[in-house]
Amino acid sequence: MEQEKYKLIIIGSGITGLSTGLAWTKIYNAVENPVLIIEKQTVPGGCVSTFAREGYRFDTVQIIPDVSDILEFYNIDIELVKFDNFYARLFLADPKNKIARIFPIHSELEKFKDNLIGFFPDDRVQINRFFNYCSKMHAELQYLKTEPRLYEFPGILFRCPKILANSGKTYKEFLSGFNFRNPEIYEILDTFSTFSGLSGNRCAALLTACAMITTLNGSYRTRKGFIEFPVQLKKKFEENGGQIMLNTIVEKILTDEGKAKGVRLADGRELYAENVVSTTDTKLTFGKLLGYDVLEKADSGYEKKVRELRMSPSAITIHVGLDDKIDLRGMGFDCGYNVLTTGRKTHEKLFDDWSKGNFILSDEDFHCGVIAPCLKTGGKPNLIIRVVPVAANNWIKLRKTDIDAYNKEKQKFADFYISKVEEYMISNLRKHITFIDVASPATYERYLGTPTGSNYDMLPVPNNFGRKRLKTRTPVKNLYHPKFSHGIWPSMQAGLQVVDMISGRKIMNGNASFKKRR
């Protein structure tokens, strides 16, 4: 039995785990305060990866906001390319007439606002009011504390009135306060909530409005593929003295009298640590690695919350390789995301289906994101079609019981969505396709170890957001769970937050978001 004593063991080398490790090595000497990351895969990165098939290069993730402050803090250089024209385009499809109205979303807030006013001049006042309000609310984030101390509450009450006023609202409730006259504005602004896998009817207002401002302050992708992120973070972590074990599964979080003391690996070894940070899926961390019985003993309220938590939906991603005769740039695909949708009602309907474990392919109701990464990263022409929300259970079951039927179902799904893209966005797409690879919820379940195939961990609904979110500091002493990520930027923040918490505010003085001191 190995009895090494680490100061910190981190489970998972996704962006949250790597950021946690790096933050640790920024403030502690890793020889005196050893830190170990344990990862079940042979490569680090979790959700963030790049893979090659038949000469085509695909990223698993597509777009990030400005993370330069954190990269600078970690002393890491990653070449990022900005979407300097459009952040996204919304294709609002009209299935009756088989046409789509296209709304461009500029990559800069002022340009997007002006463009929206250009489209809807009658709503000029409301549009201005909306963006001013969201910008001010976003600016209030800097005053939030992760675990506010009693004396800090008055400051937060005074400085964050907009955040407090809206923390219990859905995005839909929030938007309705601005009384836009033109219903299409709601459709356009909903684009920002669908990135969390939820329609505006359900998504927390604060998350959506603040994510919108963050992304409109600049959106990027990596020049060399998103795998650069975990590769560079790991390299720096190791240079700083951190240790990482790849291809190693954590089977159990070990506790003693309500206190975390280490982990047991699948090969039976036990490794001991003063602190344990788990960055794996919430249900996996508490249901399997820790055990609900241990959690209940520590705090039955916390245990109930975890059990009742709804995880975010899963997705289907269709990776498409194309010949070099297609002119994606000429068709305006050089932007972060293209959303093809039959609108707000559809997303809500898909969500209802998802809740019941179903997914319906219908000519009247469809919703997907279409991205052409090759236009920023080079390489052979490719497209990614991402469909969210998709329920996982049937896919996971089918893959286990009947692989042929599973593959046929994937093909059917891909055919349907490729035909929608062809009908509304890229005519003759099919004749340019040379390769298709489909990732289903079963792929995500297998690769990420998420029991529900969830893509964004916990569902960001108001009763699990802001003050109501599951606490990072778990009731099991010295065990932390910095999840609720919904993106690369928040995952990097989560890593910084948890080390700030463990170290007694040594990184950002208890602030909820990192800002480099200038």
Ligand X SMILES: Cc1cc2nc3c(=O)[nH]c(=O)nc-3n(C[C@H](O)[C@H](O)[C@H](O)COP(=O)(O)OP(=O)(O)OC[C@H]3O[C@@H](n4cnc5c(N)ncnc54)[C@H](O)[C@@H]3O)c2cc1C
Q: Using CB under 6 A as the criterion, which residues of the chain lie in contact with ligand X when the complex forms?
A: 11-17, 38-41, 46-48, 60-64, 249-250, 279-280, 315, 317, 448-449, 455-456, 485-488, 491
Min CB(439)–ligand X separation in Å: 7
Q: Which is nearer to ligand X, 343 or 453 (CB)?
A: 453
Contact assessment for residue 383 and residue 320, using Cβ atoms and an 8 Å cutoff: yes
Under 8 Å between Cβ of 371 and 337: yes
| Residue 324 Cβ vs ligand X, minimum distance, rounded to whole Å | 25
Question: 8 or 160, CB closer to ligand X?
Answer: 8
φ, ψ for residue 474, nearest 5 deg: -80, 165
Identify which of residues 126 and 215 has a Cβ nearer to ligand X in the complex: 215
- The CA distances from residue 488 to 9, 235, 315, 455, 491, in Å, are 21, 18, 17, 12, 5
Closest-CA residue to 65 (of 207, 209, 220, 222): 220
Question: Least distance from C-beta 453 to ligand X, angstroms?
Answer: 9
Beta bridge partners of 264: 252, 270
Min CB(357)–ligand X separation in Å: 19
Nearest distance, CB of residue 117 and ligand X, angstroms = 28
Tell me whether strands 270-278 and 5-11 are parallel, antiparallel or unpaired.
Answer: parallel
Toward ligand X, which CB reaches closer, 208 or 455?
455
- Our CB check for ligand X shows the closer of 279 and 338 to be 279
Q: Which of 188, 167, 163, 166 is nearest to 177 (CA)?
A: 166
Query: By C-beta, is 12 or 462 nearer to ligand X?
Result: 12
Q: Does the CA dihedral 58-61-66-68 come out positive or negative?
A: negative
Confirm if 411 and 438 have CB atoms less than 8 A apart: yes
CA 14 – CA 22 distance, rounded (Å)? 12
Instruction: Name 240's Cβ contacts closer than 8 Å, sequence gap at least 6.
Output: 22, 25, 26, 30
Structural tokens at position 213: 């401002």
Nearest residue (CB) to ligand X, 60 versus 511: 60
Residue 181: CB minimum distance to ligand X, A: 33
- 3-state SS, residue 364: coil
The least distance separating ligand X from the CB of residue 274, rounded to whole angstroms, comes to 19
For residues 129 and 471, which CB has a smaller minimum distance to ligand X in the complex?
Answer: 471
Determine the Cα–Cα distance for residues 278 and 194; give it in Å rounded to an integer.
27
**Cβ of residue 444: shortest distance to ligand X, in angstroms?**
6
The neighbouring-strand residues paired with 222 are: 80
Give, in degrees to the nearest 5, the angle at Cα 232 between 228 and 235: 145
Please, which residue, 73 or 178, has the CB nearer to ligand X?
Answer: 73
For the chain, the distance separating the N- and C-terminal CA atoms, rounded to the nearest angstrom, is: 48
Tell me the three state secondary structure of residue 278.
strand
